Amino acid sequence: MGSLSKKNAYLCTMMKKITLTLALLTQCVVLLFSQVNLFPTPATAFRGRGVFYVNKHTLAEGNGDYAAQLAAGWAESINALGLPEHDAVKNRVRLNLNKELNLKKEGYTLTVSSEEVLLEASSESGLFYANEALLQLIRFYKGVLPVLRINDYPRYEWRGFMLDESRHFFGKETVKQYLDVMASLRMNVLHWHLTDEPGWRIEIKRYPKLTTVGAVGNYHDPNATAAFYTQEDIKEIVAYAAERHIMIVPEFDMPGHATAVCRAYPEVSGGGEGRWQHFTFHPCKDETYEFINNILDELVALFPSPYIHIGGDEVHYGNRSWFTDPDIQQFIKDKDLKNEVGLEHYFIRRVAAMVAAKGKTLVGWDELVDAGVSPARAVVMWWRHDRRSQLVKALEQGFRVIMTPRRPLYGDFVQYGTHKIGRFWNGYNPVEDIYRFPDPVVHLMKGCEDQIMGLQMSMWTERIADKKRLDYMVFPRLVAVAESGWTPAKAKEYSLFMQKLPLFLNYLDSKNIYYFNPFHPDARLEPAEPAKKEDVLQDG
Ligand code: TNX
């Protein structure tokens, strides 16, 4: 290469570097300038001069039923915040729900001038989020709101939190409290893992032993008193969630992780011995499918969500009996299923057909990708972070996907290097990794971005037996999950997020929620777990 073209190439590289640096700098300045204390960070925000004083004379008014209903709750929410008194200033908050505005789905605008706060949306959920955002602003700015304009909408439609109440049961008040916090964070899905090995947690009228027998025990104590939700409890919680624009998706895990059910009704059990006795349903009996179908009927009646989660994970851990049971082996031959994996897929397809017949869309763990289920009627939850190929395969086949890879989205991994209780797997799950998600995998989604429905934190509770430990594992990581689900990549900046995070920690204090404090890692003890009364599954 001649020295002139070498020089040109050098100049070209330099120019590129300078342009990139300038672009980054501009982005930082814009983000800094528009920084508002709000979680999750809004898509766009601009601050102006001046303030709006929220005070007891501030009027709230809404057009139409829903807006008026939110406005009516306003005074109460404000009183509950216990703000310092400001001199009486006549000003108002106006809530405007108008379909013609054509704002994005779940989106809203929030405009603060010195005389008026205006919340606008084209949907009820949008207006609800505008109102939640305003309540946060009032709390964080102690009633003295900066003049600003926010135009906000979510990055993903599924912003979820999964709670495992089979391993340990936490109960109605905890769930409601979490729904409140989720609403504040504009999260909209509670994936409720209600069935697994230690306990079945939901009343099914047709099969009373599911609760008299199946609900007994938890991960630490197989004899713990039966703990479950009655159907009335479920209705109450579903309604509570709906008021907060949160959909509850129940999970009935099968054919594996079915120990509690099969303990209660051994006639549908796939057999097995010792640790793995009753781990799976019997995959060949018509009786099993009838039983499942009847349970699904009650679930569908209780949960209005268009989705039903049927699990489908880790069957190979506990299906040894399938290899030796002569009836099962004969069935595999008769149906030409080739082997036990073929049988597992047959089971999933048969349950998928039941779910479809009930007008629901199936959700399953990423094993589902290989089961031969139609991608048009099923959603895959990608969980095996060490198998990115499973994500790619799901997308290639046309499935819609929800991302909850163990790293960084499993809440049972520890969040700090010195923490002892919880999982490690070539590392752990600090707030920062959650915040930066899905950056490390976006290149895998090229061209299939529309198939990504969103993401969720999955909170497995083998080693979490009480509320204090649960809170500690969930917070503040859930705040980062909410931001990864809501905020567009270009509006995310980790250092700015951390700068304002203490405000959210204060909010958690006010709700008596325990949390890990990343700013003072040693200040709060890691809550312990009780001693275990028997050997347990070590999953992969
Ligand atoms: C794997 S995720 C499981 C759960 C465990 C979890 C613990 C999944 C589909 N199965 O049964 O609780 O790991 O991290």
The CATH number assigned to the domain holding 423 equals 3.20.20.80
Q: Is the pLDDT of residue 29 over 60?
A: no
Residue 185 CA to ligand 1 centre (angstroms): 25
Q: Is the pLDDT of residue 74 over 90?
A: no
Nearest CA to ligand 1 atom 10: 313
Q: Please tell me the predicted confidence (pLDDT) of residue 540.
A: 42
Query: Is 499 in the same domain as 410?
Result: yes
Query: Is 246 in the same domain as 265?
Result: yes
CA separation for the pair 79, 117 (Å, rounded): 18
Q: Dihedrals φ, ψ of 154, to 5°?
A: -85, 150
Mean pLDDT confidence for 193-213: 98
**Helix 64-81 to helix 124-140 angle, to the nearest 10 degrees?**
20
CA separation for the pair 398, 376 (Å, rounded): 8
The number of domains in the chain is 2
Which atom of ligand 1 is the closest one to the Cα of 461?
Answer: 12
Task: Tell me the pLDDT band of 208, cut-offs 50, 70 and 90.
Answer: very high
Q: Please tell me the predicted confidence (pLDDT) of residue 30.
A: 55
DSSP string, 181-223: HHHHTT--EEEEE-BSSS-B-B--TT-THHHHTTTS--SS-TT
Mean pLDDT confidence for 517-532: 93
Task: Tell me the pLDDT band of 80, cut-offs 50, 70 and 90.
Answer: confident
| pLDDT tens digits along 318-329 | 999 999 999 999
Query: Is 43 in the same domain as 187?
Result: no
Q: Which of 124, 120, 141, 154 is nearest to 40 (CA)?
A: 154
Residue 257 CA to ligand 1 centre (angstroms): 10
Query: Is 216 in the same domain as 116?
Result: no
Task: Tell me the pLDDT band of 8, cut-offs 50, 70 and 90.
Answer: confident
In a domain, 103, yes or no: yes
Query: Is 291 in the same domain as 339?
Result: yes
Q: Candidates 314, 316, 458, 464: which one to mutate for ligand 1, based on the most atoms within 8 Å of Cβ?
A: 314
Residue 460 CA to ligand 1 centre (angstroms): 7
Of 233, 236, 314, 432, catalytic: 314
| SS3 state at 340 | helix
Task: Tell me the pLDDT band of 532, cut-offs 50, 70 and 90.
Answer: confident
Q: Please tell me the predicted confidence (pLDDT) of residue 84.
A: 72
Mean pLDDT confidence for 37-44: 98
| pLDDT tens digits along 127-138 | 999 999 999 999
Q: Please tell me the predicted confidence (pLDDT) of residue 11.
A: 74
Q: Is the pLDDT of residue 49 over 70?
A: yes
Token couple for 353: 């057909």
Query: Is 80 in the same domain as 220?
Result: no
CA separation for the pair 448, 398 (Å, rounded): 9
Q: Which of 60-64, 77-81, 102-106, 128-132 has the lowest mean pLDDT?
A: 77-81
Q: Please tell me the predicted confidence (pLDDT) of residue 534.
A: 64
Q: Cα Rg for the chain, rounded, in angstroms?
A: 25
The range of the structural domain enclosing residue 59 comes to: 31-152
Residue 164 CA to ligand 1 centre (angstroms): 10
Query: Is 239 in the same domain as 262?
Result: yes
Q: Is the pLDDT of residue 79 over 90?
A: no
Contact between residue 245 and residue 124 where contact means Cβ atoms under 8 Å apart: yes
Residue 279 CA to ligand 1 centre (angstroms): 14
Question: Is 313 close to ligand 1, i.e. is its CB under 6 Å away?
Answer: yes
Q: Which of 124, 152, 180 is the last residue of a domain?
A: 152
| Chain centre to alpha carbon of residue 292 | 26
Q: Which of 414, 415, 412, 435 is nearest to 485 (CA)?
A: 435
Residue 212 CA to ligand 1 centre (angstroms): 25
In a domain, 521, yes or no: no
Strands 247-254 and 189-193, how do they pair?
Answer: parallel
Q: Counting Cβ atoms within 10 Å, is residue 6 exposed (0-12), middle (13-18) or buried (19+)?
A: exposed
Q: Which of 14-18, 194-198, 215-219, 252-256 has the lowest mean pLDDT?
A: 14-18
Active-site residue, 345 included = no
Q: Which of 91, 124, 152 is the last residue of a domain?
A: 152
Which atom of ligand 1 is the closest one to the Cα of 460?
Answer: 12
The mean of the pLDDT values for the chain is 94
Q: Which residues have a Cβ under 8 Å from the Cβ of 506 and sit 6 or more positions away? A: none
In a domain, 2, yes or no: no
Contact between residue 390 and residue 383 where contact means Cβ atoms under 8 Å apart: no
Question: Is 410 close to ligand 1, i.e. is its CB under 6 Å away?
Answer: yes
Q: Is the pLDDT of residue 442 over 70?
A: yes
Q: Name the percent of the chain lying above pLDDT 90.
A: 86
Mean pLDDT confidence for 87-112: 93
Q: Please tell me the predicted confidence (pLDDT) of residue 23.
A: 64
In a domain, 534, yes or no: no
Query: Is 110 in the same domain as 180?
Result: no
In a domain, 539, yes or no: no
Active-site residue, 290 included = no
Q: Which of 152, 172, 202 is the last residue of a domain?
A: 152
Question: Is 365 close to ligand 1, i.e. is its CB under 6 Å away?
Answer: yes
Nearest CA to ligand 1 atom 6: 460
Task: Tell me the pLDDT band of 3, cut-offs 50, 70 and 90.
Answer: low
Active-site residue, 314 included = yes
In a domain, 515, yes or no: no
Mean pLDDT confidence for 82-108: 89
Query: Helix, strand, coil proportions of the chain in percent (round to 5)?
Result: 45, 20, 40
Q: Candidates 280, 460, 463: which one to mutate for ligand 1, based on the most atoms within 8 Å of Cβ?
A: 460
Which atom of ligand 1 is the closest one to the Cα of 410?
Answer: 14
Strands 144-152 and 44-53, how do they pair?
Answer: antiparallel
| pLDDT tens digits along 345-369 | 999 999 999 999 999 999 999 999 9
Nearest CA to ligand 1 atom 5: 460
| SS3 state at 413 | strand
Mean pLDDT confidence for 418-426: 96
In a domain, 338, yes or no: yes
Token couple for 278: 């009753």
Token couple for 498: 């951390």
Mean pLDDT confidence for 282-309: 98
Q: Please tell me the predicted confidence (pLDDT) of residue 18.
A: 74
Q: Dihedrals φ, ψ of 245, to 5°?
A: 60, 35
Q: Please tell me the predicted confidence (pLDDT) of residue 411.
A: 98
Q: Which of 16-30, 237-251, 484-498 has the lowest mean pLDDT?
A: 16-30
Query: Is 137 in the same domain as 268?
Result: no
Which atom of ligand 1 is the closest one to the Cα of 313?
Answer: 9
Query: Is 143 in the same domain as 162?
Result: no
Which atom of ligand 1 is the closest one to the Cα of 314?
Answer: 10
Mean pLDDT confidence for 84-88: 70
Question: Is 497 close to ligand 1, i.e. is its CB under 6 Å away?
Answer: no
Q: Dihedrals φ, ψ of 395, to 5°?
A: -65, -45
Which atom of ligand 1 is the closest one to the Cα of 365?
Answer: 9
Query: Is 249 in the same domain as 367?
Result: yes
In a domain, 516, yes or no: no
Specify the amino acid at residue 456: Q
CA separation for the pair 328, 242 (Å, rounded): 43
Instruction: Please give the C-alpha separations between residue 450 and each of 61, 155, 259, 361, 445, in angstroms, as whole numbers.
Output: 37, 11, 37, 18, 9
Q: Please tell me the predicted confidence (pLDDT) of residue 88.
A: 72
The CATH number assigned to the domain holding 89 equals 3.30.379.10
Total residues found in the chain within this entry:
540
Q: Counting Cβ atoms within 10 Å, is residue 490 exposed (0-12), middle (13-18) or buried (19+)?
A: exposed
Of 168, 191, 245, 257, catalytic: 257
Query: Is 226 in the same domain as 272?
Result: yes
Mean pLDDT confidence for 245-250: 98
